[in-house]
Each structure stands twice: as C-alpha cells, then as structure tokens.
Structure 1
Amino acid sequence: MRLKRSLKATAAVCSLLLVGGCGLFGESSASSSAGFNPPDLKAQSELGRTEGQLNLVAWAGYVEDGSTDPKADWVTPFEKQTGCQVHAKVAASSDEMVKLMKSGAYDAVSASGDASLRLIASGEAAPVNTDLVPNYQDVFFGLKNQSWNSVDGTAYGIPHGRGANLLMYNTREVSPAPTSWSAVFDDASRYKGHLTAYDSPIYIADAALYLRETRPGLHIENPYALDQEQFDEAVGLLKKQRPNVGEYWSDYLKEVSAFKSGDSTIGTTWQVIANLARSEGAKVKAVLPQEGSTGWSDTWMLSAKAKHPNCAYKWMNWIISPKVNAQVAEYYGEAPANIKSCDETSDPAFCDTFHATDESYWKDIAFWTTPIEQCLDGRTNVKCVPYSRWVQAWTEIKG
C-alpha cells in the first residue's frame, strides 16, 4: 500500500544543482525481461479525436482536482484543454490496481513496478507509442526502457516519477549512525520492538538486496529474480528479523507518528516521510545505505481495453509536462520524471532534495519489478519464484 492520502513535501534546505545535458535524455541500455513473452498487442499508431471522458486508477495524490486541496488542481485545466472529463478511482495497493484494471472499466493506471509486469503478462496493458507523447523526450533516461515498464524495447507506459526506500533512524536513540542495512537485519535485536519495515511482499527484495551484498555465494544478481535457494534465504532472513519488528507500516502517517512517539527508532522509509517527520519535531535522519536500496518508479499504463484511448494519451502527455509533473512531484513527494520540471518547482531545492537529476544516485536503486518465473536476470537454467509465492511467503513471515 502506498500513501493513503496525499501530502505536499515540506521545504528542504539544500540548494538546487541543475544538471544540463550529460546524457540525461538518452535512451537507457537496461536489459529487458529475458524470456518474458507478453501477448502480441500493437501500440496505437496515431491519435484520433478525444472521446470526452477518461477513467483512471491512481495512487492518492496523483489525480488532484482541487477537492482535496484547493491549491492542488491539475485535472481542471486538463479537462478544459482537452474536453476529457476525468473520473479517478484511488487504489490503496498494487493488488487492487491489478484487479481494477482487469475489470475493463478503466483506461489507464499509475502502476508501480510490483504490478506492471502482471498487467503486461495478462494482456491488460497495451504497448504505448511514445511518439504520441511529445513530453516523453524530456523524461530522464534512467526511467526509459526499464524492466518494469518495457519488454524487448517496447514501452508499456509513460514514467511518472521515482523514489528510493531509505533507512531512517532516531538520531538520539541510534548510535553510531547506521550506514548499512545490517542495522535492521543482522543487528535487528538491538532495536527489538522498535524496528519498523514496509508492509508488502515486495519487501522480500530488500532482504535479497542485502544478501546480494553480504552473501556473494548466493549469486544474487537481481533482488526480484530469485531462484528457490535464494528466495528461501531471503525469507529466512525476514523470519529472523520478525521478532524484532514492532510494526510493519503502509500508512505514512502511522510511521511519522511512531517515530515521533518513540515506538519506532529505525526502519525503512521514503524521503518525503523523513521530511515530514522532521518538520513535526521528530529527531530523525534518512540515509541511503552502502548496499544501495530498493525503490519505486510509477508508470502510467494504458489499458488494452481502453474505451477512451485518445484521452488517455492526452493525459499521459499532460501529467509529465514540466509544470504539471512538478506540481505532482511536490504534492506527493517524489522525484519528477521530466527533467524540465526542476525549473518549475515552487521550492527551488526540491529536485536536489529528491536527487531528481543525480543519475548516479539512482544507479544504486533496484526499482520494484514484478517477480516472474522467467528470471529477470537472464538465467534460463532455473525458474525463479513468481510473485504469487512472494505473497504466500509474506503471510508466513508476518505470522
């Protein structure tokens, strides 16, 4: 589950360092999902007349029309410009998004990487013709042609934004300052009852990422491509961690409250949550550990059954336009997808705080990707554990 309600990121104190050129607009050379063969669907070749309506499934805070916050409204000007009346359904989890998209009632969805390949594999998501989305050319190359939004060079969506899963700790209670995920795994007993972790099966990848760096003998290359032995080790690490976890969090407000009260002193977080917690008086700091981290990158995906595909294309171009993408990024608390958005944020330090232009930062982030049997790391001599088994294991881990 992602944010249950939207929020605007609190002001940061860093200065903005804009990066010009430097290959930020180039295509990525990231490998595709090896052995993964989705249904043979064709992308739309040209835009037709808009249909007057658009039905979306989205995370809270992504489709704002001023009803939640009068200052947050990028839907109304879209409707006026295109004639497409927007109807949005807020989903509380990736699983809910997949279920809603399978109903055929929605034109597009802001899917995270733990849902996107499921939508592609089932034929629910259609390939997207990026030539019909002019603002796509200004999307950071680190978000293009990635394993969670493309297959064999074919795009299945338009990148929306990205964020990293960080390690947050109470600076008064945790000393010395942690630099490794070992604080929540091998040393978890030091914080028994006050450790927190993200409540989702995809958190198994966090354990796998740590094992990739600390147990080289397991030969983990991709934390979302785990054979049975690798998977069992990751699950075992989380079961060992479990007695020390005071609370698994999915609602960002609860995590903020827990760190303010002292119920939680260390655990996973997002940058926006750390900012908010500090603004409310919590003595916390968030760091990217030396092993790197997992993270999330959301993609606007078009339904293969879309009744209003032209409006959907107009929306995908609108939501990543510089000014709008900046509005959404600041309101939600994430790095924007469009590099030009960094000139449009109300807080001049925003893109620096969220590392928007720092591609070297994102190279250490393993973005959520749906685990499938075809190993995403290219191995063909074994089968990897699919997401359905991750869900079962997560239930066992939590008890």
Structure 2
Amino acid sequence: MAHHCSRLVTVGAITVLALSGCTSDGGDGGASGAPPTIQALDTIGEGEGEVNILAWAGYAEDGSTDPAVDWVTPFEQQTGCQANVQVADTSDSMFEKMGTGDFDVVSASGDSSLRMIYAGKVAPVNTDLFTHYLEVPEFQRLQAWNSVDGVPYGMPHGWGAQLMAYRSDVVTPAPTSWDVVFDPSSPYSGKITDYDSPTDGIAAAAVYLMSTQPDLGIENPYALDQDQFDAAVELLKAQQPHVGSYWASYTDAQKALENGSTVVGSTWQIIVNLAQADAAPVASVLPDEGATGWADTWMVDAKSPHPNCAYEWINWVTSPEVQAQVAEWFGEAPANVKACGLTTEPTHCDTYHADDADFFSKIWFWTTPQSTCLDGRTDVKCVPYAEWGKAWSEVKNG
C-alpha cells in the first residue's frame, strides 16, 4: 500500500480523517491511495428545473412501461425538477458516462461505485441533507462500496442476491448448488447463462471455489491473490464452452428463460418475476454455497449541473412510499425499511430479508477489487479490477 498522508475532510457537518497526497493505481478501482478532494453540497437550494438520472431499468419509472408504475411524474409535480431518465444496461456503461456533467445522479452498483469514487467521477455526500438516511439500517451504511475512510459517497437504495434461475420443467430435481452451472459435466451444457460482468463473473466462481476448493484459502471473493484469481479464471474457462449466453440486459435474460434457450444460470429476481408473470415455468434459488449480490447506491456526479434537484431526487426515491413501489416492481429489498409497512404484498420485506442483518452478512456484495486486499491481508497483493476486466474478456472469447 502507498504511504498514507492524513488530512481532515469536512462533509457537510461531518469532519472525518481521510487520506491525501498519496499515490494510486489509477481510476480503475485498483487504488491504494485516496479519491480526489471534491466538496459535498452544504445545503439544498432552489431547484434548477431539471435532473439527469442514469439508472437501472425499473428504478425511475415514469408510466411508460406500465401506466400504473410511475414515481417520476409525482416527483416532477412536487419539486418542479423535470426528470430526464436514461437506462443503463451495465455497470461499465455507468462508469463511462459519469463524471462528465451529462448526469446528476446514478444508481450505482458496487462493481462500479468504488471505481467512480477513486476516479473522481462522483462527489462525497452530505447525509444531513438526506431526509431518510437514518431510516436505512446501520448495516447498510458506510460500506466498502459506498464510502471511503468513513466518508459517505451516496444514499443506499436497495439490494438483493445474485440468484440462480432455472426452468422447473427441465432442471430436475430442483437444484441447490452452483455445480449445475460450473461443473463441466452439467447435463445442461449449452443452455447455461452467466451475468456479463467481470466483477460478478469472477467473484461468483470464487464463491463456488470457497466451498469446493477450501485449500485455496479464499476468504473474500473480491480479494483474490494471483493464485486464487488464476483458479477462478480457469474454472470459468472450463465452463465457457458450456455457456449458451452471457447476459447484460435483463430483458434478454428473461426472453432466454421464457423461450428455453437458457435453462439455468445467474439471475436477478425481477427477471424471474417477469418470466413467471408470463406464465413461464421459471423458479429461482439461493444455492448452498452462497452468492454474490448487489447493493445499489444513489450517487451524485462530481460535475452535476443540477445538484439541488439531484438531492431532491435522492430524497424522493428513498422515501418509504416510493421505496415500497420500487422494491416490489424491481424485486429487491428496500434500503429504507420504513417501506416495509407500505408494500402491497405484506410479506415482501420478509421474502427479501430487508431488515435481516444476518442474511445481509452472508451475501458477497459487489465491491471493486483493489490491489490492496479487501480481506485485510498485507503480505500479498491482490489482483485489481483492470486485470479482472482483461481476464473476463478472455473467458468470454474462449
């Protein structure tokens, strides 16, 4: 790790010890120094009239997908901020589009949020200005993917496990292990699917290896030394000939399950929900080995042209009323647990373990790999994100 030099940073009313004047491995998440110094908003002033939102599908619905699903229009009516929404398919595209001033806020997942922080693409936030920050359980705040050295970089939105979907009319008996996805002798060769993400893809293999090859000593699937990393990549290369598709768009994954070109593989709950709504024989399971998962954070662009409307949007979309709608529509645990009393399905938050710190602790949430090992080891270097991206390309290309 680089030599650390300390400084005091004031974020709103919070003064914290941070790091400065240190070297970094660059803006790809392989950082061992500190993010650039960027000022957080002091107060929310008058709205600028619009806000540019970069979000996952289902997070900023305006009624165009389903007339009954609209939490953008009432936001515009209440705040006077016109919401311009662009849907992103991948975390890499979110990373590329942020930091330019083209957007004000992004619903970043953990496989891009830390990269954005170290690249100076997003600003620290003043949580005193977030109306609902203290309604989010403490176990979700100041995590590795949404903070650095005690400085918060966003407002938690929602989370969930990266589940395994399967066609219940084909995959029998019902699977309980990732072996039907990773074992080269899987009877479902050619109809297996993986999520197209370097972070999730390699970490998912590492989670499987934690259980099946404990001698590797993997303790955190995002903290892999060279030997551990090589083992995960070899597993994926052996799997590659049996993978029918690597999905990025959730609608593509849904269609593949519905038409049977995919019968088993990585999924999001929204994909399963939509396939089941179309009467497809699709089910999902959290396998015995555990799983990766995503925890999404609303972050503010470092060059946001509409910071007041940006904070207004974050306060709106993380209110209990809107969180209840988003969580049910998307299929996730709301970060704001006050939403649990407002969901149409009274057991929604129980199903998604929204206020279950123990369940939360069992999911390996996407976190950008860094050369400084996230598991605390100091006697070795871990493989940083840039190398994960290269290896993932090699895996997919056979």
Which TM bucket (shorter chain)? 0.7 to 0.9
Task: Report sequence identity in percent.
Answer: 57
Question: CA offsets, 1:37-61, max 9 Å, x none?
Answer: 2123342233333222222211222
**Is residue 2:347 matched to residue 1:321?**
no
> Are 2:132 and 1:142 equivalent residues in the alignment?
no
The answer to whether the 8 Å contact 1:320/1:338 transfers is yes
Structure 1 window deviating more from structure 2 (131-140 vs 348-357): it is 348-357
- The alignment status of 1:225 with 2:223, answered yes or no, reads yes
Partner-residue secondary structure (3-state), 1:239 = helix
Tell me which residue corresponds to 1:16. Answer: none
- CA distance in 2: counterparts of 1:182 and 1:138, whole angstroms: 39
Q: Secondary structure at the match of 1:134?
A: coil
Distance 2:271 2:330 in 1: 10
Q: Does 1:194 align with 2:196?
A: no
The total of aligned residue pairs comes to 367
Name the structure 2 match of 1:55: 52
Q: Tell me what 1:114 maps to.
A: 111
Contact 2:184 2:239 in 1 (8 A): no
- Shifted more, 218-227 versus 48-57: the winner is 48-57
- Please list, as runs of the form range in 1=range in 2, the aligned pairs for 1:1-399 lying within 5 A after superposition: 35-186=32-183, 188-202=185-199, 203-399=201-397
Contact map agreement 1:41 1:127 (CA 8 A) in 2 = yes
- Tell me the distance in 2 between the aligned counterparts of 1:261 and 1:69: 23
Task: Read off the aligned partner of 1:52 and give its amino acid letter.
Answer: G
* Most deviating of 116-125 and 346-355: 346-355
Deviates more, 1:357-366 or 1:122-131: 357-366
1:337 alignment partner AA: A
Contact 1:160 1:336 in 2 (8 A): yes
Unaligned runs of 5+ in 1: 1-32
Q: What CA distance in whole angstroms lies between the structure 2 residues aligned with 1:142 and 1:276? A: 30
Alpha-carbon spacing, 1:39–1:381, altered in 2? closer, same or farther (3 Å): farther
Structure 1 position 165, deviation (Å): 0.9
Instruction: Give 3-state SS (helix, strand or coil) of 1:248's partner.
Output: strand
CA RMSD of aligned residues (A): 2.0
Q: 1:230 to 1:87 in 2, by over 3 A?
A: same
Query: Any gaps of 5 or more consecutive residues in structure 2?
Result: 1-29
- Secondary structure of 1:162's match? strand
Amino acid at match of 1:370: T
Write the letter of the residue equivalent to 1:379. R
Q: 1:261 to 1:101 in 2, by over 3 A?
A: closer
The alignment partner of 1:302 has SS state of strand
Q: Is the 8 A contact 1:108 1:301 kept in 2?
A: yes
CA distance in structure 1 between the partners assigned to 2:343 and 2:207 by the alignment: 33
- Is residue 165–residue 294 contact of structure 1 (8 Å, CA) maintained in 2? yes
Displacement, 1:395? 1.4
- Relative distance call for 1:44 and 1:348 in structure 2 (3 A) is same
- 2 CA distance for matches of 1:355 and 1:259? 25
Query: What's the offset of the Cα at 1:397?
Result: 0.6
The 3-state SS of whatever aligns with 1:190 is coil
Counterpart Cα distance in 1 of 2:117 and 2:249: 28
SS in 1 for 2:295: strand
- Decide which moves more: 129-138 or 66-75: 66-75
Change (3 A) 1:143 1:242: same
The one-letter code sitting in structure 2 at the alignment partner of 1:327 is: Q
Asked if 2 retains the 8 angstrom alpha-carbon contact of 1:78 and 1:84, the reply is yes
Q: CA deviation at 1:119?
A: 0.7
Q: What secondary structure is seen at the aligned counterpart in 2 of 1:74?
A: coil
Contact persistence 1:209–1:294 (CA under 8 A): yes
Checking the alignment, whether the CA contact within 8 Å between 1:188 and 1:241 is kept in structure 2 is: no
**Residues 238 and 159 of structure 1: CA distance in aligned 2, closer, same or farther (over 3 Å):** same
Rounded to whole Å, the distance in 2 between the matches of 1:177 and 1:63 is 35
Once the two structures are TM-superposed, the CA of residue 178 in structure 1 deviates from its matched residue by 2.2
Contact 2:95 2:116 in 1 (8 A): yes
Which structure is higher in RCO with an 8 Å CA cutoff and minimum separation 6? 1
Structure 1 stretch displaced more, 135-144 or 288-297: 135-144
**TM score, norm. by length of structure 1:** 0.86
Give the whole-Å Cα distance in 1 for the aligned partners of 2:182 and 2:39: 45
CA distance in 1, matches of 2:359, 2:328: 19
